[in-house]
Amino acid sequence: MKASIVDLRYKMPEVLSALSRREKVQILYHGKLKGVIHPAGERGNRKVTDHPFFGMFSADLEPIAEIMDRLRGGRHRDL
């Protein structure tokens, strides 16, 4: 289903019924796609090992805690 910002305001029952039918709702603003509302619980069962970050530093000999400290950088130490 495609819905504009005005539809979200005035036709929310239709949007909610589309979500209850397990449809994705595309949000349009001035005719351009701004976002998508997915029905709750639609996430599939994905494994952590499928994420591209998993195993990225497996060849490093540096401990993970030190890698994370380096990645977080100054923002983590500002407090």
Residues 57-78: pLDDT tens digits? 677 788 878 878 887 776 656 6
Q: What is the pLDDT of residue 44?
A: 64
Supply φ then ψ for residue 9, to 5 degrees.
-80, -45
Q: What is the pLDDT of residue 20?
A: 92
Long-range own/partner contacts, residues 22-27 (CB < 8 A, 24 or more apart):
25/1, 26/1, 26/2, 27/3
Task: Assess if residue 71 is contained within a domain.
Answer: yes
Q: What is the pLDDT of residue 75?
A: 64
Task: Assess if residue 45 is contained within a domain.
Answer: no
Q: What is the pLDDT of residue 14?
A: 94
Total domains in the chain come to 2
Task: Assess if residue 56 is contained within a domain.
Answer: yes
Task: Assess if residue 43 is contained within a domain.
Answer: no
Instruction: Look at the chain and count its residues.
Output: 79
Helix (H, G, I), strand (E, B) or coil at 20: helix
Q: What is the pLDDT of residues 35-53, one digit of tens each?
A: 999 998 766 677 878 888 7
Host domain of residue 62: 51-77
Task: Assess if residue 42 is contained within a domain.
Answer: no
Task: Assess if residue 13 is contained within a domain.
Answer: yes
